[in-house]
Structure 1
Amino acid sequence: MNKIKFGAIISYFGVIGIIFSKAINSEEQNEFINFHFRQALLITIIILCLNFFNYGLDNGFFRTIIWTISITLKCIGIFYAYNNQQKNIPVIGEYAQKWFKNL
């Protein structure tokens, strides 16, 4: 697995993955890594916000839904990155590219 593909895939592994992905891509800016970084960043932000909201509720069912959505979206992103595809993740991918275009 080459450095570019690894940088794109690692970005989907939470906050630590995002930091490593950005570090890998800091020397030579690669659009493929940036594309997947932006999507992973939005997924992580959404999941953190939903978990913060659920913290007050402490609802196990809601927590299960959050993690199911998170794992599904991340698996789709990893699948696209592994297959060298720059396809948007359903529902949020387009927003990630628009909102974080400067990152």
Structure 2
Amino acid sequence: MNANAPENGKTLAVVAYITIIGVLIAFFMNQEKQNKLTAFHVRQSLGLWLLYFILGYVISGFDSWMLTYSFWIFFAVLFVYGILGAVSGKLNSIPILGDVFQKIFKSLGN
């Protein structure tokens, strides 16, 4: 079976979205196989996690539960979208930001 087949990279692609540690695990485990699906989702999830931490720091300065819940819902939807793309084996970019993440982190993976 081809090492670049989507079925071989689904597990690591899903792991990349679980936590920031999952991104590191998926990245290092993908170094040997160089699966395109996993590399794509590592770039997507790394961008999401970094944006989550940066915006979370900014939003934590506000004392508004509406803003906080909106932030959590926004990122929950994006992470679920990414996980569903990884499970289905598709290279679906995250809306609005996915292409930016692919350009910024193009040196990671293939």
TM-score in terms of structure 1 length: 0.90
Deviations for 1:35-74, whole angstroms, at most 9, x for unmatched residues?
A: 0111101111111011111222243222111111111001
Shift of 1:17: 1.3
Aligned partner of 1:20 in structure 2 is 25
Aligned partner of 2:97 in structure 1 is 92
Larger Rg: 2
TM-score in terms of structure 2 length: 0.85
Q: Which blocks of at least 5 consecutive residues in structure 2 are unaligned?
A: 1-6
Aligned partner of 2:87 in structure 1 is 82
- State the identity as a percent: 29
Q: How many residue pairs end up in the alignment? A: 102
Aligned partner of 1:68 in structure 2 is 73
Shift of 1:3: 4.8
SS at 1:56 equivalent: coil
SS at 1:77 equivalent: helix
Q: Which blocks of at least 5 consecutive residues in structure 1 are unaligned?
A: none
Shift of 1:12: 0.8
Select 1:53's aligned residue among 49, 58, 78: 58
